[in-house]
């Protein structure tokens, strides 16, 4: 089970995620998001995590110049594309930066899963997130969920990660219903929008690990 804590923005919460045993830590580079971090902060946080957890740089429809700057300064292990990036753009970034690629696919019904097949050809992992609520200008981190059973027995040929509305109280159920081997959380470990809570981070990681053990 891979556990990703996304949208970390302070040294305290990054340390809490690392101490709790998170496998992946996400840094958001999207100015509209309350979780956005400037490059100087991102560099410090990435240095804390390096060698302890995989570092994921989340971007939304960013151009190659912006990605190149993140790649050079932050040196993430993964780029997570959470916008309307095409499979061709994902492939180009993978070749150019020699980093693993995670592509977010928004889901509300079974038909939405079809586009994942196109991205699975080039991406190293697919992240299934809930479609944003109407009127939201954020593609993720909205705290909304969807029918996790849609992902059960999904034949994708690439690993996938479950995201969207997860927290410590429901992550075990989500793992059981979806059959996922990876989970991602952002708003579900926040005490207010964009502000992570160390206790909630620890509780989420413990719940996800517990679900793994229970399912074995």
Which residues neighbour 88 within 8 Å (Cβ) at sequence distance 6 or greater?
Answer: none
90, 129, 167, 184: the active-site residue: 129
State yes or no: is 47 an active-site residue. Answer: no
Q: Measured on CA atoms in the order 128, 27, 199, 212, is the torsion positive or negative?
A: positive
Q: Which has the closest alpha carbon to 70: 40, 107, 31?
A: 40
Measured between alpha carbons, how far is 43 from 27 in angstroms, rounded to an integer? 10
6, 90, 167, 184: the active-site residue: 6
Q: Measured on CA atoms in the order 130, 135, 139, 142, is the torsion positive or negative?
A: negative
**Which residue's entry shows tokens 């998001």?**
33
Token pair listed for 113: 């899963």
* Chain length of the chain: 216
Instruction: Give, in order, the Cα–Cα distances in Å from 42 to each of 25, 57, 132.
Output: 11, 9, 25
Element (H or E) spanning 53, and its range?
none
* Burial tier of 31 (Cβ tally within 10 Å: 0-12, 13-18, 19+): exposed
The residues that are catalytic are: 6, 129
């Amino acid at each position: 089970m891979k556990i990703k804590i996304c949208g970390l923005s302070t040294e305290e919460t990054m340390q809490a995620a690392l101490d709790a045993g998170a496998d992946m830590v996400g840094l958001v580079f999207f100015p509209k998001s309350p979780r956005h971090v400037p490059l100087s902060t991102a560099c410090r946080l990435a240095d804390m995590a390096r060698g302890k957890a995989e570092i994921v740089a989340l971007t939304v429809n960013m151009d190659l110049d912006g990605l190149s700057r993140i790649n050079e300064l932050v040196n993430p292990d993964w780029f997570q594309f959470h916008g309307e990036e095409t499979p061709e753009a994902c492939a180009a970034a993978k070749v150019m930066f020699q980093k693993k690629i995670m592509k977010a696919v928004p889901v509300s019904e079974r038909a939405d899963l079809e586009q994942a097949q196109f991205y699975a050809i080039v991406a190293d992992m697919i992240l299934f997130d809930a479609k944003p609520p109407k009127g939201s200008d954020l593609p993720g981190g909205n705290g909304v969920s969807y029918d996790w059973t849609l992902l059960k027995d999904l034949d994708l040929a690439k690993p996938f990660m479950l995201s969207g509305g997860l927290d410590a109280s429901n992550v075990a159920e989500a793992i059981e219903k979806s059959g996922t081997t990876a989970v991602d959380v952002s708003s579900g470990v926040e005490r207010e929008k964009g502000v992570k809570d160390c206790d909630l981070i620890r509780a989420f990681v413990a719940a996800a690990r517990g679900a793994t053990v229970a399912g074995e």
